[in-house]
Structure 1
Amino acid sequence: MSVIDDYLSSVSGRHRELLDQLRAIIIEAAPEASEAISWGMPTYKLNGNLVHFAPGKSHVGLYPGADGVAFAAARLDELGLRYSKGAIQFPLDRELPGELIASIVAFRV
């Protein structure tokens, strides 16, 4: 069992479902990345922190850093997703935009 498995064992419901999907997308886009907990969040590392992810109150968050958000900002706007300098929020009541997430992770790689 990995540190991310341990972290996710305390999460349930829709949060867990989306976090599992997000994790699978990250692993597929960056299979060489290693797992860790950093800043209290599940993290994938490759030459430093690649991306973090975590549950929020009514969303799951992806934290690809400022450059990852800037890379995807136009598409995030098109999808009506909330984001800040280094974080993207995916609401619980919507499906994850898998291709967009994979492209952000690939960009970060």
Structure 2
Amino acid sequence: MGTVEDYLGGLRPEQAHALRRVVELARGLAPDAEEGTSYGMPALLVGGRPLIGVTAAARHLSLFPFSPAVVAAVAPDLEGFSLSKGTIRFTPEAPLPDAVVEQVVRLRRAELGA
């Protein structure tokens, strides 16, 4: 797997658009983030450590903050979304709210000490 942009370029347009929005918001708050991979998925890295990862599946998109604590912190703002310990799932038709994505990135950066 290549960079985040390479990955997004291989998706259906509606999937790419929704995930690109997440990545753009993250880059706005973490301009020092570099594209790479973590746990086999496209990710933004800060200081070589994963900030967020994104993937597309057949029926949903996923944001991985690589932190159960971050997912738990934003869970109250994600009623109706599918969550697991380390994943936030959404669809192009029901994208993540910008404020939640921004909070995920802020919290994760704080965990990384960035």
1:71 to 67, 70, 73: 73
The answer (yes or no) to whether the contact 1:58–1:92 under 8 Å persists in 2 is no
1 CA distance for matches of 2:28 and 2:59? 25
Tell me how large the CA RMSD over aligned residues is: 1.5
SS at 1:95's partner residue? Answer: coil
Q: Which amino acid aligns with 2:57?
A: G
2 CA distance for matches of 1:62 and 1:37? 13
Question: Cα deviation per residue 1:55-79 (whole Å; 9 max; x = unaligned)?
Answer: 1222210001212101111112xx3
Give the TM-score normalised by the residue count of structure 2: 0.83
SS at 1:88's partner residue? Answer: strand
Gaps of 5+ in 2: 110-114
Which residue of the partner structure matches residue 112 of structure 2?
Answer: none
Where in structure 2 are the equivalents of 1:1-109 lying within 5 Å? 3-47=3-47, 48-64=49-65, 65-76=67-78, 79-109=79-109
Give the TM-score normalised by the residue count of structure 1: 0.87
Q: What is the number of residues matched between the two proteins?
A: 106
Aligned-residue offset at 1:50? 1.1
Aligned-residue offset at 1:103? 0.9
SS at 1:15's partner residue? Answer: helix
The answer (yes or no) to whether the contact 1:43–1:53 under 8 Å persists in 2 is yes
2 CA distance for matches of 1:95 and 1:71? 18
Aligned-residue offset at 1:20? 1.2
1 CA distance for matches of 2:96 and 2:71? 16
Identity %: 28
Gaps of 5+ in 1: none
Aligned-residue offset at 1:18? 0.5
